[in-house]
Structure 1
Amino acid sequence: MDSVRLAVFSILISGSWCSVTKDLKFPEWFKFGAATAAYQVEGGWNSSDKGENTWDRLFHSNPEFSSQDNGDVACDSYHLWRRDIEMAEELGLDIYRFSLSWARLLPNGFANKISEDGKRYYNNLIDGLLEKGIEPVVTLYHFDLPQILQDLGGWANPLISDWFADYARVAFTLFGDRVKTWLTINEPLGFCDTGYSKQQAPYIDGEVIAKYLCNKYTLISHAKAWRIYDEEFRPRYHGKVSLATIFNWYEPATPEDKEITDLMREYWEGRFAYPIFSKEGGWPPTLEKFMADKSKQEGYSRSRLPPLTAEEIELIRGTYDFYGLNHYLSRRIRKARPGEKIGTWPLYGSDEINIQMESDPSWETTGLDWFPINPAGLRKQLHWLNQTYGVNEVMITENGYLDLDKHLDDTARIKYMRDYLEQIQLAIADGINVTAYMAWSLMDNLEWLGGYGASFGLYQVDFTDDNRTRTPRESARYYSRVTRTRSLHHDHEGLNYV
C-alpha cells in the first residue's frame, strides 16, 4: 500500500471524512468533462424537418410557465455548435457530454424516417469535437420525448421500449464508429416522478400509477438498447453503454431513522438502478414488499409497482458497463411526525413512504433550502455504490452548483467544484474506480420550468443577445487550470487558460 493510500486508510478507520492533503493529483487516465442536454441548449425547435417534442408542446400550450421562457432558441447551439466546441477546448476538456434530440433525428418519432439535417448536425458536432481531441459522450434521451409518441401514451405505454430500441439502433448505426461512450436514458426519476405529477413535461397528473409504469418501461427500454449495442455494435466499436441515474445522498436524521433512510434509498435510486446493477435483479425486495402492502391498504387489487416477470428481470439485469452518477446534494431523512404536512416530492419529502427531507445545520447552503452542500456525502455515496453493487467503474455524469445571482465572479461555484472534486480524489485513493467527472453545465441554459432565472453554467450566456454571447466565468478559468494541471490547488492563481 503506497503512502497516499495508507494515509487515507488511516483516516477512514478513524471515522473521519475530511481532506488529507493538498498535493493529491488526478491520475492521467481520469477524464474531465462538461455536460449539456439537447432541449436546454440547441434551440432550432422547428428548423428543417425536426418534429415537435413534449417540451415544445408544454411551453407553447402554457406560455405562462417560466415567465414565457422556452427552448425555441435557448443557447442556439443548433447554429453555434462551433463555439460550443471552442469552449470545450478552452476548458481543456477530455470529454463533452451532450444529448441527441430524438425528434430532430427521427422527426416522426419512429425509425422509418431519418432526418438528413439532424444527422448532419450531430455528425458536425461529433467530428468537430474529435478534431480537437475531445471525446463525445452521447445521451440518447434527456427528457424530450417526441410528442407523437407521448400522444400514444409515452413512457406509460409498454411499446415505448420497442420504439426506443429502434431509435437507439439508428443512433448506434450513424454515430457508433466515433462515439465510444453512450448513456441511454438520463435520470428516469426526473421525468417519471415529476413528469407524471405536473412538475415537468409531459405535465400529467397520473403520479400514483403512471410514474411506476414509466419506471418499468424505462428500464426495459434501456435494457433493449444496451443489448442491441452489446450484440450488434460492441464487436465492431468496443464502446461502453449505461444510463445516468440521479442519486442524492441520504443520511438518517437520527439513529432511529436508519431503516426509513434505507427504504428511501431504494425508493429514489433502487427503483431505477437495483434491477440493472444488483446481482439478483428485479425490484429492491424491501421496497417491493412495502409497495405491495401499501397498495393493498389503499384498496388496490395489485401493487402500484408493476411486477417484473422472470424474463424481464433477466433482460434488465447486468445491462451496464459503468455506473453513471448524477450527484448534486445530500439530504437528511426522518419519519414525518403525526399530523405534519409533508413536503413536495422529490425535493422535500414523500407522503408515500411518510418521510421528510431536511438539511443538516452543519452543511453549507446555496441559498436554497433544498440544495445544501455536503461534499463528504459524495465520497460516502461512492463507497455505498461500491458496497451495494460492486460496480467496476463509476462516471460522475453530472455535478454542479446552482447560482441564483449569475455573476461572472462565481467564487461559490469554484469552492463547490473544488470540494466535490477533492472527495472524488479521495475516493480514488480509497480504491474506488471513478474514471470521469462531467460538470453541469458547460453554459447557462434553460432549466426546464425554472426557465433562465438560475444558472449552473461555467460560461455565462446572454439570452438577450441574438448571438447568445458566451462569456467564461471565474469557475471556467479555475476548471481549465484543473484540467491541465490535474490538481485542485494552484499557487499561481493568475495562471489563466480561458
Structure 2
Amino acid sequence: MITLISILFCCSLSAVQVGGMAGNQIYYGRFPNEFFFGTATAAYQIEGAWNEDGKGENIWDRFTHQTPENIVDGTNGDIAADSYHKYPEDIKALKELGVKFYRFSISWSRILPKGDASQKNPKGIEYYNTLINELISNGIEPMVTLFHWDLPQPLQDIGGWANEVVAYHFADYARVAFAEYGDRVKWWLTLNEPWVHGNFGYGVGSYAPGVKLNGIANYLAGHTMLKAHTLAYEVYQQDFKASQKGKVGITLDSFWMAPKTGSGADQDAANRAMQFQLGWFAHPIFSKEGDYPAIMKQKIAERSENEGYPRSRLPTFSPEWINRIRGASDFLGINHYTTFQVSAGSGNSPLFLDAELDQSYDDSWPKTSAPWLRVVPWGLRSLLNWIKKEYDNPPVIITENGCADSGGLNDTQRANYYRSYINEMLKAINMDGCNVHGYMAWTLIDDMEWIDGYTIRFGLYSVDFEDPERPRAAKESARVYAEIVKNRGFPEPQQQRIEL
C-alpha cells in the first residue's frame, strides 16, 4: 500500500546561544531585489608573485622573510594561492557560486613599487586591468580595496602610518588607482580594518610591521589612517565622482561586545568596548558630531595623565579635520566574525587596556580552529542594530564574514556558519530595518592567513598548497553558499509528496 504524506523541508541550522536580540530560529524570507552577494580576498594572501614583474617589497614581505618565526608555520605569501597567475580559476569559482560581486585588494607595491607616485609599474597596472576586465566580461562587478595591510616597505622605512606624510602618499596612490581603473570600478574601499592593522602592527607588534609601542604608535597610526581615508575620498569627490559615478567607503572590523551580565557596570563596559573598537574609526566618519568617541578621549586622557604624560596619548584633530572627516564615506563596510562577553575590569587584553574592561567567551559558544573565533550568529544582528541606532542607519555592506577550520572539503561547520549568520543578517534587514546592501563571504579560496600561515583555512574553495599547481576544489560550504545566493535567501519550505 502506498501512502502520500506532506513533509516540510528546511535548512539545517546548528543551534546557537540564545541571547542578544535573536535566538536560533530560522527566518524564512528573501533579500531585497537590490541586495548583492559576493566573496572577498586580499592581495598578499592569495596573489603570490611577490617580486615578479616589477613589484616592490611590502611590509609583509619583509616581516615574513626576516622574522619567519613570527608566523606559526614559518611560511609566507611568496606564492600563496598563486592567483597572480591563476586568476582565471578564481573567476571560474566565482561563476560557480553565482555571485555578482568580487571584493579584492590592489597590492600598492605592485603598481607603485616605491610607495610614492614617482614610479609606476606598467606590468602591475596591466595585471589589475586584465583582472577587472575579465571579471566584468563574466558578469561580476569588481569591488576594490586600496589598502589591505600591505604597506610598501619604503614608506615603512620613514615611519609607516605613524608618520602623517604617508596619508598624502596614500592619496596619491588612490588617484593613480581611480585614474587607471575607475572607468570600470564603481565600488571602492580605502582601508581594510585600520583597528586591526593599527593595534597588531603598531601596538602589540604581532603583525607586520612589528612595531611594539602599544598605546602610542597604534593611536598615531589610526590618526594617520583616518586622514588618509579622508584625503582619498576627497580626491574621488573632487576629480572623479562626476565622470565615474562610483562610491567610496571604508571597511571597519567589529566584534559584537555583549555585556557578561545585566549589571550597569557590564553594560557600560560593553559600550566602551564598542566605542574603542568600531567607534574609534566609525565615530569620526559616521556620527553627527564627528571626532573620536567622547568616552575614548576621556579614558585615554585620564590614564595618560595618571601615567605622567603631559598630554593625552590619543592625538587631537583640529576643527578643520573633524569637519573634513565627518561624512567622508558613501557607505560603511563591516567585517564581522564573532562575539565577546565584556565585563568591567582592569583590562585583560592589551587591545583594551585604556578601555578598562575584560573580555571572555561563553563556554557554550561553539569553538572553531581559530582560538579567537566562536560561532555566535545573533551577534551579527545585534551589531547591525547598534550601527543603525548609533549612526542613524547608514548604508552598510558586510565586506567579510566567515569561519575558520583546519581544512578539508566536508566543512559542515562553515556551511552552517554561513546559513546561520546570513539568516541573522536577513532578520536585521527584513525585521529590524537595518540598511544593509550586500554581503561578501570570507573567503573565496584558502589563503595565507597572516601570522597563522596555512594552519587555518577560511576558503569556500580548498587550495592544495603542497601541489605546485595550487589546484582549487569546491567545499561543501561553496554548495551551501551558492544555494543561498541562487534562492536570494531562505524561501519558505516547499511541501513535497513522498511515497512510502
Q: Is the 8 A contact 2:26 2:423 kept in 1?
A: no
Task: Give CA-to-partner distance per residue, 1:424-482, whole Å, 9 cap, x none.
Answer: 11111121121100000001100101100001100000001111101000001111111
Deviates more, 1:109-118 or 1:360-369: 360-369
Distance 1:32 1:194 in 2: 30
2:218 partner SS: helix
Within the candidate set 166, 170, 174, 2:176 is matched to 170
Partner of 1:211: 218
Displacement of 1:19 in angstroms is 5.8
Partner of 2:149: 143
Distance 2:493 2:191 in 1: 40
Partner of 2:251: 244
Q: Is the 8 A contact 1:91 1:480 kept in 2?
A: yes
User: Equivalent residues in 2 for 1:407-422 (5 A)?
Assistant: 407-422=408-423
Partner of 1:461: 463
1:397 partner SS: strand
Distance 1:369 1:74 in 2: 23
Displacement of 1:368 in angstroms is 4.9
Q: Is the 8 A contact 1:322 1:391 kept in 2?
A: no
Deviates more, 1:424-433 or 1:241-250: 424-433
The one-letter code matched in structure 2 to 1:258 is Q
Identity within the alignment, %: 44
Q: Which has the higher contact order (CA 8 A, sep 6+)?
A: 2
Partner of 2:498: none
Task: Give CA-to-partner distance per residue, 1:233-290, whole Å, 9 cap, x none.
Answer: 1111111111100010001112231112211111111111100111111111121111
Task: Give CA-to-partner distance per residue, 1:70-90, whole Å, 9 cap, x none.
Answer: 000001011111111111111
The one-letter code matched in structure 1 to 2:390 is T
Distance 2:417 2:311 in 1: 45
2:200 partner SS: coil
Distance 2:324 2:421 in 1: 35
Within the candidate set 308, 320, 325, 2:334 is matched to 325
Deviates more, 1:16-25 or 1:433-442: 16-25
1:138 partner SS: strand
State the TM-score, normalizing by the size of structure 1: 0.92
Within the candidate set 304, 307, 324, 2:316 is matched to 307
Displacement of 1:167 in angstroms is 0.3
1:50 aligns with 2:55: yes
Task: Give CA-to-partner distance per residue, 1:355-393, whole Å, 9 cap, x none.
Answer: 221112343332555322111111111111011001331
Task: Give CA-to-partner distance per residue, 1:383-421, whole Å, 9 cap, x none.
Answer: 110110013311000000011x21200010011000010
The alpha-carbon distance between structure 1 residues 455 and 92, as it changes in their structure 2 partners (threshold 3 A), is: same
2:185 partner SS: coil
The alpha-carbon distance between structure 1 residues 16 and 212, as it changes in their structure 2 partners (threshold 3 A), is: closer
Q: Is the 8 A contact 2:370 2:456 kept in 1?
A: no
Distance 2:478 2:369 in 1: 22
Q: Is the 8 A contact 2:187 2:247 kept in 1?
A: yes
Within the candidate set 261, 275, 278, 2:270 is matched to 261
1:128 partner SS: helix
Q: Is the 8 A contact 1:40 1:447 kept in 2?
A: yes
Partner of 1:195: 201
The alpha-carbon distance between structure 1 residues 463 and 46, as it changes in their structure 2 partners (threshold 3 A), is: same
Displacement of 1:18 in angstroms is 3.0
1:207 partner SS: coil
Q: Is the 8 A contact 2:349 2:359 kept in 1?
A: no
The one-letter code matched in structure 2 to 1:102 is W
2:201 partner SS: coil
Q: Is the 8 A contact 1:162 1:221 kept in 2?
A: yes
The one-letter code matched in structure 2 to 1:406 is G
1:101 aligns with 2:107: yes
User: Equivalent residues in 2 for 1:33-182 (5 A)?
Assistant: 33-66=38-71, 67-182=73-188
The one-letter code matched in structure 1 to 2:148 is H
Within the candidate set 17, 28, 31, 1:23 is matched to 28
Distance 1:47 1:414 in 2: 36
Distance 1:65 1:291 in 2: 30
Displacement of 1:489 in angstroms is 6.4
Displacement of 1:68 in angstroms is 2.4
The one-letter code matched in structure 2 to 1:42 is E
Partner of 1:3: none
Q: Is the 8 A contact 1:333 1:355 kept in 2?
A: yes
Distance 1:71 1:330 in 2: 29
Distance 1:20 1:406 in 2: 28
Deviates more, 1:454-463 or 1:426-435: 426-435
Q: Is the 8 A contact 2:296 2:355 kept in 1?
A: no
Displacement of 1:91 in angstroms is 0.7
Partner of 1:271: 280
State the TM-score, normalizing by the size of structure 2: 0.91
1:357 partner SS: strand
Distance 2:21 2:46 in 1: 41
Q: Is the 8 A contact 1:418 1:488 kept in 2?
A: no
Distance 1:386 1:124 in 2: 38
Displacement of 1:491 in angstroms is 6.8
Partner of 2:447: 445
The one-letter code matched in structure 1 to 2:122 is E
Long gaps (5+) in structure 2:
1-18, 495-500
Distance 1:391 1:146 in 2: 35
1:223 aligns with 2:230: yes
Distance 1:368 1:174 in 2: 38
Question: Matched residue pairs, number?
Answer: 471
The one-letter code matched in structure 2 to 1:324 is G
The one-letter code matched in structure 2 to 1:175 is Y
Deviates more, 1:83-92 or 1:360-369: 360-369
Distance 1:25 1:448 in 2: 35
The one-letter code matched in structure 1 to 2:179 is T
User: Equivalent residues in 2 for 1:276-425 (5 A)?
Assistant: 276-336=285-345, 343-346=348-351, 350-366=352-368, 368-403=370-405, 405-425=406-426
Partner of 1:426: 427
